[in-house]
A and B are shown apart, each in its own frame.
Chain A
């Protein structure tokens, strides 16, 4: 057998771990490219360890791990309590957006990390406890709306009604955080939306059972420590 040994096998050989099933030392010996590739890897090892010294990296890793541990122990904190307080039963009028900008759009949320406002997050992507998250409502012509936040524990919902981007700090509760934008062209009962949200339980993709005329758009962040 003289097939080219894959890089991942060579890496394993280099650190002295057992070779994966299906590969033997004889296979490595039969591949003429192995000696040169190993030398390159060794040179790369030296370069990396010199540029990123083990003692320094170990300290950085421990510091990051401790910081994340502290964040994970903190409860969810709403950074703008004044903006969010008391809005559980309020449906607010959404700001008008020019028709030329909203034509063809459906109402939805855009979600960002506060420190990366130019990079919208993707629903289904990952958020870390401690991340500061900003929501932007794209009303797409809808006149009224509210945002419901549900964590992965299926716990009572934390609710906000947003007119401008607010900021939330992700906590470590549950496996995900879900934001649901509910919109309508007419005023509606927030209590109906809240009741529907409480029925969602642990399901991160189920839709709210809403009265006719209401639209919903969901955004989910998986929580990763």
Chain B
């Protein structure tokens, strides 16, 4: 049975587009990313976890947008945007392990991507506990990931 994309979009689409606008700061790219988010939701529909769809879509949108931002050379518009760009452009743990399929991580198959986690924590302001709950990892796992990323990015400090 297929997902009812229209109903899902009607309820969650605006939230997704706002998220994409916030991260990408470009309307056309944000709309394109929003489409991608729902495409990914369709693709992985048989693996959906029993989590709040808004949480899931928030994570997918974050991941999709960070991918679009990688390699982007636009100038950050404000400190928040600068942090997002910094995280998006970082080479994190996945570069070494390549064990990730980050979108599959969103669906609980493999550990989440460090950059995605970093945006939830450093940009969205989630605590370590909230971040861990969002991505389905332990607090210590999240802390470890963030520390790995913080080692290569200036200005990011992970609470002990």
- What residues make up the interface of A, taking CB atoms closer than 8 Å to B? 6-8, 11-12, 14-15, 17-18, 20-22, 41, 44-45, 48-49, 52, 54-55, 57-58, 60-62, 64-65, 68, 119-122, 124-126, 175-176, 204-205, 220, 222, 224-225
Question: Are A21 and B71 within 8 A (Cβ)?
Answer: no
A12 to B38, CA, bound (A): 17
Contact of A45 among B14, B40, B127 (CB under 8 A): B14
Q: Is B65 in contact with chain A by the CB < 8 A criterion?
A: no
Are A8 and B18 in contact, CB atoms less than 8 angstroms apart?
no
Verify if B96 is at the interface (C-beta below 8 Å from A). yes
Q: Is the interface of B mostly helix, strand, loop or mixed?
A: helix
CB-defined contacts of B39 to chain A, threshold 8 Å? 61, 64-65, 68
The 4 closest A-B pairs by CB, nearest first: A58-B6, A17-B52, A45-B14, A58-B5
Give chain B residues whose Cβ lies under 8 Å from the Cβ of A11: 15, 18, 54, 58
- B109 at interface (Cβ–Cβ under 8 A)? no
Contact in complex: A125, B11 (CB < 8 Å): no
CA distance A119 to B135 in the complex (A): 32
Chain B residues near A121: list those with CB within 8 A: 71
* In the complex, chain A residues whose CB is within 8 Å of the CB of B31: 52
In the complex, the chain A residue whose C-beta lies closest to that of B68 is A126
Query: Which residue, B14, B17, B42, B129, has most C-beta atoms of chain A within 10 A?
Result: B14
Residue of B nearest to A120 (CB): B71
User: Chain B residues near A126 (CB, 8 Å)?
Assistant: 67, 70
A61 with B52, Cβ < 8 A, contacts A20-B133, A126-B70, A225-B43 known: no
B67 and A44 within 8 A (CB):
no
Could you list 19 further interchain pairs (A-B, Cβ under 8 angstroms) beyond the known A22-B127, A122-B70, A224-B67?
A: A7-B124, A12-B54, A15-B11, A15-B12, A15-B15, A17-B55, A21-B130, A22-B130, A52-B17, A58-B9, A60-B35, A62-B5, A64-B36, A64-B39, A68-B39, A125-B71, A176-B98, A220-B98, A222-B98
Do A48 and B14 touch (CB < 8 A)?
yes
Q: Specify which chain B residues have a CB less than 8 angstroms from the CB of A220 in the assembled complex.
A: 98
Tell yes or no: B75 within 8 A of A by CB.
no
Q: Given A12-B55, A18-B52, A22-B130, does the pair A54, B15 have CB atoms closer than 8 Å?
A: no
- When chains A and B are docked, how far (Å) is the Cα of A125 from the Cα of B68? 9
**B126 touches A (CB below 8 Å):** yes
Check B71–A119 contact: CB distance below 8 A: yes
Q: Cβ of B126: which chain A residues have Cβ within 8 Å of it?
A: 6, 8
Query: With a CB–CB cut-off of 8 A, which chain A residues contact B53?
Result: 15, 17
Q: For residue B24, give the distance in angstroms from its CB to the closest CB of chain A.
A: 15
Once the chains bind, are A57 and B9 in contact (CB under 8 Å)?
yes
B74 to chain A, nearest CB (A): 11
Contacting pair A12 B52 (CB below 8 A): yes
Complex alpha-carbon distance, A15 and B130, angstroms: 19
Q: Which residue of A lies closest to B4 (CB)?
A: A58
The reply to whether A54 and B10 form a contact with Cβ atoms under 8 Å apart is: yes
CA distance A125 to B12 in the complex (A): 28
